[in-house]
Amino acid sequence: MNKLLLHPAAKPIVFLACLAPFAWLVYGAFTDGLGANPAEYLIRSAGDWTLRFLCIVLAVTPLRVMFKLNGLARYRRMLGLFAYFYVVIHLLSYGWFDMGFDVPEIAKDIAKRPFILVGFAAFVLLTPLAATSFNRAIKALGAKRWQRLHKLVYLIAGLGLLHFFWLRAGKNNFNEVFVYAGIVAVLLAWRVGHFVRQKKGVASRPAAVSRAQPSK
């Protein structure tokens, strides 16, 4: 599997796969295939794909560690940028189709409706992560500060889930919300457990080294 992940053709294939939902939406828009309310379909679909890509990004490290798939690491940046790509489409679709790009009205709507405010906050927090997903930014920030910044992805996923929850609350339909929440909860629990195991491993090394040293 690592050989496949590291193959030169693998990354372009993954890129095209990530772009496929957008291509399908564009195709549907030009062929009247987005249902009775195309604007709503486009807004909701872009939001759904944002959540899906956030879950995929969060799953990269657990899958890499558990199955020793080190080749997955080279896709994390691209997957994160696609999460940002779809949230931008989500926001632009809302601003265009729902609000006609009326900036004062958009600002009022964001302030007035909590679920939009939460979603917009997630977008704002995701923006610096996308902006620093390049080698020059990593070098400028330093590895530790860059890693701390990118841990915001868990907060962003939580805000995205809350945005989705409030959106579905009007229709009292929480099935998909629970699925996404369960996925994020499992991935977060793994991350916490992995962090604790690493700390224990680091703490036990000095004792193991001192026992291995011969007494004078």
Q: What's the pLDDT band for 201 if we cut at 50, 70, 90?
A: confident
Are the CB atoms for 135 and 146 separated by under 8 Å? Answer: no
Q: Which residues contact 10 (CB under 8 A, 6 or more apart)?
A: 4, 71
Mean pLDDT of the chain: 91
pTM over 0.85: yes
Angle at 187 (CA atoms; ends 121, 141), nearest 5 degrees: 55
Q: Which residue has the tokens 């992805």?
A: 153
What tokens does 47 get? 């939001």
Q: Residue 87's closest CA among 156, 6, 14?
A: 156
Whole-number Å distance between alpha carbons of 106 and 125: 19
pLDDT one-digit tens code per residue, 21-70: 999 999 999 999 999 999 999 999 999 999 999 999 999 999 999 999 99
Percent of the chain with pLDDT over 70: 93
**With bands split at pLDDT 50, 70 and 90, how would you rate the model's confidence at 216?**
very low
- CA–CA separation, 77 vs 60, rounded Å? 10
Q: Using one digit for the tens of pLDDT, what is the confidence trace for 148-190?
A: 999 999 999 999 999 999 999 888 889 999 999 999 999 999 9
Q: Could you say which architecture CATH assigns to the domain 2-188?
A: Up-down Bundle (1.20)
- Alpha-carbon distance of 9 to 14, in angstroms, equals 9
